[in-house]
Amino acid sequence: MSAAPLVAVLDYGSGNVHSAVKALVAAGADARLTADRALIEEADGLVVPGVGAYRAVMDALRASRGDELIDRRLAGGRPVLGICVGMQVLFGRGVERGVDTDGLGQWPGVVTELDAPVLPHMGWNTVRPDAGSALFSGIEQERFYFVHSFGARDWLLQTQPPFPQPRLTWCDYGAPFLAAVENGPLSATQFHPEKSGAAGIRLLANWLGTLRAD
Residues 95-119: pLDDT tens digits? 999 999 999 999 999 999 999 999 9
Q: Give the whole-angstrom CA distance, residue 212 versus residue 28.
A: 13
Phi, psi of 132 (to 5 degrees): 85, 5
Count CB-CB contacts under 10 A for residue 96.
17
Q: Which CATH architecture has domain 6-211?
A: 3-Layer(aba) Sandwich (3.40)
Residue positions annotated with a catalytic role: 84, 192, 194
Do 133 and 164 meet the contact criterion of CB atoms below 8 Å apart? no
Burial string for 38-47 (b: 16+ CB within 10 Å, else e) reads eebeebbbbb
**For the whole model, what pTM was predicted?**
0.96
The answer, yes or no, to whether residue 60 has pLDDT greater than 80, is yes
Kindly tell me the burial class for residue 143, based on how many C-beta atoms sit within 10 Å of its own C-beta (0-12, 13-18, 19 or more).
middle
